[in-house]
Amino acid sequence: MTGPPQSRDADPEDGLTAGHGRGGDGVPGIRRVAPLGSAAVDTTLPGTPADLLGPERDGTERMVPSRLAEFAAARRCGHLALEGLGVRPVGIPRGVRGRPFWPVGVIGSLT
């Protein structure tokens, strides 16, 4: 994900780690591979439906609980990465073949 870099420290309470290209210490190895102005967020905790914003909820009623937890955790990381880039967190709906549909000016991946 690219945009203006900002920093967010790891918080053991929420199971999240964040890092920003060539500036953060959060996600292991991010400084070596990410360009300036990028962000990464990682989590060890499952997500919940409360983590989903607006259009992200579309189609989740058909997901089994484990898939919903993974989907919501990835979206929560996406929201935090947007925030770390100085972009207001918004829903990241699924586009073509499930690809995340990011706000204009942002390129990213969720896995």
More confident position, 94 or 40: 94
Q: What is the pLDDT of residue 78?
A: 94
Q: What is the pLDDT of residue 10?
A: 43
The label of the residue with tokens 């203006």 reads 4
Instruction: Give the tens place of pLDDT for each residue, 86-111.
Output: 999 899 999 888 899 999 999 999 98
Cα–Cα distance for residue pair 103/107, rounded to 1 Å: 8
CB atoms within 10 A of CB 105: 9
Look at residue 65 and tell me whether its pLDDT is greater than 60.
yes
CB atoms within 10 A of CB 2: 16
CB 36 within 8 A of CB 5: yes
Cα–Cα distance for residue pair 111/109, rounded to 1 Å: 7
Q: What is the pLDDT of residue 33?
A: 75
Both structure tokens of 32: 């070596």
